[in-house]
Amino acid sequence: MRRVLVTGGGSGIGRAVARAFSDAGDAVTITGRRMAPLQETDGGRGMDCRVADVTDEGQVDALFERPFDIVIANAGGGSAGRLRDITLSAWNDTLAVNLTGTFLTFRAALDGMEAGGRLIAMASTASLKGGPAIAAYAAAKHGVLGLVRSVALEVAKRGITCNAICPGFVDTPLADKAVTGLMARLEISEEDARERIASGNPAGRFIRPEEVAAAALFLASPEASMVNGHALSVAGGEI
């Protein structure tokens, strides 16, 4: 039975990924800042729920008293805002949870990971392109992709892979924040805001979390052993 760690497992993509691996028979540990959402993700599946902040070095290191076979650095977030309006505090917070959190998670994971291990970062289409009002988030996610590509070269000869999944807008609470922000900036209805965001995807809809989870299952499979340093876009043709 594979041991799997999913950070940010209390909602959204992390929840879907954790449930997918658990339903596949893996022993899953999920982390987040609050216990209640983690327990909701578990839903009686028997996952190990651990409260941890991925920006805290000590808390991250404490998760790895035993090595994991698959580590999915999913925790992330950020708020929209044009560059001139971003405070230094907001900038630092965005980089900390998205980029530094991934760095701390991967560094700790590699200490005991054996051949066949998988490192997967939940990045974004914002890792592959910029966009208005997402300067801090895009900068952090571009950094995640650079980290993934560099780590992939370091671990290839150990039989470990390191990849990124780059979703577009996924139907999650994080997308709901984007909708709310757009409503406020443009003074439009929720329906209009959702339609405007969905129109950025060639398929004309939000991505389902389960579609992202399926990509994670593939990257963690033995058949993906030669997929390394890759940015797998799950975005309906947006990229």
Residue range of the domain that includes 184: 171-206
pLDDT for residue 116: 98
Mean pLDDT of 118-147: 96
pLDDT for residue 62: 98
Mean pLDDT of 195-222: 92
pLDDT for residue 193: 83
**Are residues 178 and 123 part of one domain?**
no
**Are residues 32 and 69 part of one domain?**
yes
Number of domain units in the chain: 2
| Residues acting as catalytic residues | 137
pLDDT for residue 140: 98
* CA atoms of 131 and 140, how far apart (whole Å): 13
- Among residues 110, 112, 100, the alpha carbon closest in space to that of 156 is found at 110
Each residue of 52-61: b (16+ CB within 10 Å) or e? bbbbeeebbe
50, containing H or E segment: strand 48-51
**Are residues 148 and 198 part of one domain?**
no
| pLDDT beyond 80 at 141 | yes
CA 8, distance to chain mean position in Å, is: 8
Tokens matching residue 5: 């760690």
| pLDDT beyond 80 at 54 | yes
**Are residues 65 and 23 part of one domain?**
yes
| pLDDT beyond 80 at 239 | yes
pLDDT tens digit sequence for 159-183? 999 999 999 989 887 777 777 877 8
Tokens matching residue 222: 């033995």
- Mean pLDDT, rounded, of the chain: 95
pLDDT for residue 167: 96
- In sequence order, which residues have a C-beta less than 8 Å from that of residue 167 and are 6 or more positions away? 13, 122, 124, 125, 207, 212, 233, 234, 235
**Are residues 51 and 11 part of one domain?**
yes
- Among residues 10, 13, 5, 12, the alpha carbon closest in space to that of 122 is found at 13
Mean pLDDT of 212-217: 98
Which residue would you say has higher pLDDT here, 176 or 152? 152
**Are residues 107 and 156 part of one domain?**
yes
pLDDT for residue 139: 98
| pLDDT beyond 80 at 221 | yes
Length in residues, the chain: 239
Helix 88-95 to helix 135-155 angle (10° resolution) is 30
pLDDT for residue 192: 82
Domain annotation covers residue 231: no
pLDDT for residue 228: 98
pLDDT for residue 148: 98
Angle at 149 between CA 237 and CA 144, to 5 degrees: 75
